[in-house]
Amino acid sequence: MLRLMSFALAAALFASPVLAVDAPTGPITIKGTKQANITFNHSNHKSVKCTVCHGEAGHGKIADFDGNMKAGHATCLECHKADASHKAPTKCTECHKKA
């Protein structure tokens, strides 16, 4: 009986549609290691596809970041420096604002 229930649960999970994850509506805090934390607003990044920062999953932690400063900077600064309007922050204190 337990085996049948396990099979039924597994079948239900695999058969269910994959739900899209909506970006947070308010700001989120990215913990800084040595510098101050970063306040990130998804609303400022609506023109960027989720997979650019989050990999193929499109949600969750920033792909390849996981606390690695160089990878984190590369992920953000690549786009920020390419911003033709020059509105995207590129200096340390523009993102790492001390409270």
Which ranges constitute the DSSP H helices of the chain? 2-15, 50-54, 69-82, 92-95
Whole-model pTM: value is 0.64
Q: What's the rounded Cα separation, in Å, for the pair 68 and 83?
A: 23
The pLDDT assigned to 94 comes to 93
The pLDDT assigned to 20 comes to 53
DSSP 3-state assignment of 5? helix
Residue 7 clears pLDDT 90, i.e. is over it: no
Which one is predicted more confidently, 91 or 15? 91
Q: What is the pLDDT of residues 22-81, one digit of tens each?
A: 888 899 888 877 888 889 999 999 888 888 888 887 677 776 666 677 877 888 898 999
8 A C-beta contact, residue 67 and residue 33: yes
DSSP 3-state assignment of 14? helix
